[in-house]
Amino acid sequence: MASVKPEIRTFLCRSDNIGVLIRDPASGACAAIDVPEAAPVLATLEAEGWQLTDILVTHRHADHIEGIPEVVERTGARVTAPEKAREAVPGAKRTVAEGDTVTVGDLVAKVWETPGHCADHVTYHFAQAEVVFAGDTLFTLGCGRVMEAEPQVLWRSLRRFLDLPDATAVYSGHDYVLSNGRFALAAEPDNRNLKDRVAQAERLAEQGGFLIPSTIGEEKATNPFLRVGEPALARAAGLEPGSDPAAVFTALRAWKNRF
């Protein structure tokens, strides 16, 4: 059976959050991935003529959920939240944990628990559609800040993305692409693929766009936090080539925090 190809729209919310709508064209079911701000979500629904049926929450931070009450009031959408954020997400009707399944019409996603940025973070992987919604775990050219765990916890979460097919589209929760690119170039200045991607991101930014989604293949070629096994990145982090990838990740993340 041919895979179901979703319709997806991205748009800015707040200052740098990425709003996302995913729609199953067969059934008309439509989900928002988080609701950072109500107005842009509602405006995009109206412009597309789509009816929101679901809200899939990646984590409890206010800049990802504060628009939920207004959007639920306007649309009646069902809110699905991480089990570990049950009490923090307004209007949650269903909670999910590792290995659970969510559906948007005929589109099916597996839930991954991806802690590190925060303890309750989850990722939604629509395997047949080749789409993953990474929230604040994996960004284009970067990764989330470690807030509620040791860095190794976030590294274990990020490692899961490396096993996905290269063509998988990655939707992240913020447009931090240009700042991530500057750090990535500092860490790996001789990476030609990285230079090309940063140039592409700069061109898009000049046109009011952003380099989201990315793909797993592109991130494996250019994102320093997924390339911690590369000798050049170990050296950039002040470690010997062949060092434990978790140690290289920890050093790179600490450097990024100061960058």
The domains of the chain, with CATH numbers, are: 7-258 (3.60.15.10)
Please say if the pLDDT value at position 2 is more than 50. no
64 annotated ligand binder:
yes
Q: Is the pLDDT of residue 81 over 60?
A: yes
Query: Which DSSP string do the residues of the chain spell out, in sequence order?
Result: -PPPPPEEEEEEETTTEEEEEEE-TTT--EEEE--S-HHHHHHHHHHHT----EEE-----HHHHTTHHHHHHHH-PEEEEEGGGTTTSTTEEEEE-TT-EEEETTEEEEEEE--SSSTT-EEEEETTTTEEEEETTEETTEEPPP-SS-HHHHHHHHHGGGGS-TT-EEEESB--HHHHHHHHHHH-TT-HHHHHHHHHHHHHHHTT----SEEHHHHHHH-GGG-TTSHHHHHHTTS-TT--HHHHHHHHHHHHHH-
Query: Tens of pLDDT along 43-77?
Result: 999 999 999 999 999 999 999 999 999 999 999 99
Residue 3 pLDDT class (50, 70, 90 cuts): low
Mean pLDDT within 224-231: 97
For residue 125, say whether it is annotated as part of any ligand binding site: no
pLDDT at 129: 96
Q: Tell whether 117 is in a known binding site.
A: yes
pTM for this entry: 0.96
Residue 97 has pLDDT above 90, yes or no: yes
For the cut 80, the answer to whether the pLDDT of residue 146 exceeds it is yes
Residue 23 has pLDDT above 70, yes or no: yes
Mean pLDDT of the chain: 97
